[in-house]
């Protein structure tokens, strides 16, 4: 499905009925990374997966990108779909966008699942690495980005023994336009530090991290869990950064239990 938001065409799926769950994907992927979650949750909840600006089937204009803009796009999609409040699941860059959504539109958020993400802004070294990756994307195209990203996103065991997952990730990355990849890198390099803001998060929060995640390691997840009042932390054994793809059953079980607890709160 497609909708016009903030001057672009945005692609999304809207499945099932009930309390909405909005899934925000990682860099440089697209909404299909949530296929196993969409399948598991759409029998009980309204599940929305979307291609962020610059990704998949959404437009990737050649212009300035920011996490504020991404948050506004998500809010506009919710408005277009008449969704007042939702639970959000954001993985990695999706989590960075979630902090921005909460900062700007807390009244639209019923609960937060922050997966394989971090609250800290980029270090100077991290910003330099983004700049270098943007140059690689510009000179060599998305397949060079796939070569760099796959070992960061997946565990060595997945890379060696699960070619179907590696191929799925590669084709998501290669399906992106350069403008989107480079735009995201700039947006992530410019993002705010959210560490001090963690204590102000007042809605239920679940933190998830793959035990082997090197991009946003368990120490980053523990920091969020310590600082967000009442947050819960789950570490998924054997998973790296894309924990929802590598260990979908474990990931879904954690989200299902979070959703069940949210439902209990609503009825008390
Ligand atoms: C992601 O998975 O979204 C990226 O690894 C995030 C990042 O590069 O900081």
Could you read off the pLDDT of 171-185 as tens digits, one per residue?
A: 999 999 999 999 999
User: Where does ligand 1 bind, in terms of residues with CB under 6 Å?
Assistant: 26-27, 92-93, 188, 215, 241
Question: What values do phi and psi take at 235, rounded to 5?
Answer: -110, 125
Give the ligand 1 atom nearest the CA of 188. 9
Residue 231 belongs to what H/E stretch?
none
Give the Å distance between the CA of 152 and the centre of ligand 1. 9
Mean pLDDT computed over 76-89: 98
Give the ligand 1 atom nearest the CA of 130. 8
Evaluate whether 231 touches 144 at the Cβ level (below 8 Å): no
CA atoms lying within 13 Å on the CB side of residue 194: 27
CA distance 230 to 88: 17
Mean pLDDT computed over 207-230: 98
Evaluate whether 93 touches 46 at the Cβ level (below 8 Å): no
In the predicted model, is pLDDT for residue 267 greater than 80?
no
Evaluate whether 15 touches 47 at the Cβ level (below 8 Å): yes
Mutation choice for ligand 1 from 95, 149, 188, 240, CB with most ligand atoms inside 8 A: 188
Give the Å distance between the CA of 176 and the centre of ligand 1. 15
Q: Read off the pLDDT band of 264 (50, 70, 90).
A: confident
pLDDT digits (tens, 9 = 90+) for 225-262: 999 999 999 999 999 999 999 999 999 999 999 999 99
CA distance 199 to 202: 8
CA distance 79 to 256: 25
Give the Å distance between the CA of 159 and the centre of ligand 1. 18
Q: Read off the pLDDT band of 263 (50, 70, 90).
A: confident
Residue 184 Cα to chain centre, angstroms: 13
Give the Å distance between the CA of 263 and the centre of ligand 1. 31
Q: Which of 58-62, 71-75, 261-265 has the highest mean pLDDT?
A: 71-75
Angle between helices 178-189 and 93-105 (to 10 degrees): 60
């Amino acid at each position: 499905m497609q909708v016009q938001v903030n001057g672009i065409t945005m692609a999304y799926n809207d499945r099932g009925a009930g309390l909405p769950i909005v899934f925000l994907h990682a860099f440089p992927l697209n909404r299909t990374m949530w296929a196993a979650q969409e399948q598991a949750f759409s029998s009980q909840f309204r599940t929305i997966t979307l291609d962020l600006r610059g990704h998949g089937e959404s437009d990737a204009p050649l212009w300035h990108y920011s996490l504020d803009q991404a948050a506004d796009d998500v809010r506009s999609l919710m408005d277009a779909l008449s969704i007042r409040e939702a639970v959000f699941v954001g993985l990695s860059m999706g989590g960075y966008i979630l902090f921005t959504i909460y900062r700007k539109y807390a009244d639209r958020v019923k609960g937060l699942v922050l997966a394989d993400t971090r609250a800290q802004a980029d270090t100077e070294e991290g910003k330099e690495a983004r700049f270098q990756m943007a140059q690689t994307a510009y000179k060599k195209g998305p397949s060079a980005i796939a070569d760099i990203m796959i070992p960061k996103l997946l565990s060595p065991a997945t890379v060696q023994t699960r070619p179907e997952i590696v191929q799925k990730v590669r084709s998501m990355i290669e399906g992106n336009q350069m403008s989107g990849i480079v735009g995201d890198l700039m947006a992530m390099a410019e993002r705010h530090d959210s560490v001090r803001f963690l204590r102000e998060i007042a809605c239920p929060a679940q933190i998830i991290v793959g035990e082997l995640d090197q991009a946003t390691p368990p120490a980053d997840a523990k920091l969020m869990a310590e600082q967000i009042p009442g947050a819960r932390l789950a570490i998924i054994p054997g998973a790296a950064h894309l924990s929802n793809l590598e260990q979908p059953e474990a990931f879904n079980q954690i989200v299902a239990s979070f959703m069940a607890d949210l439902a209990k709160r609503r009825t008390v």
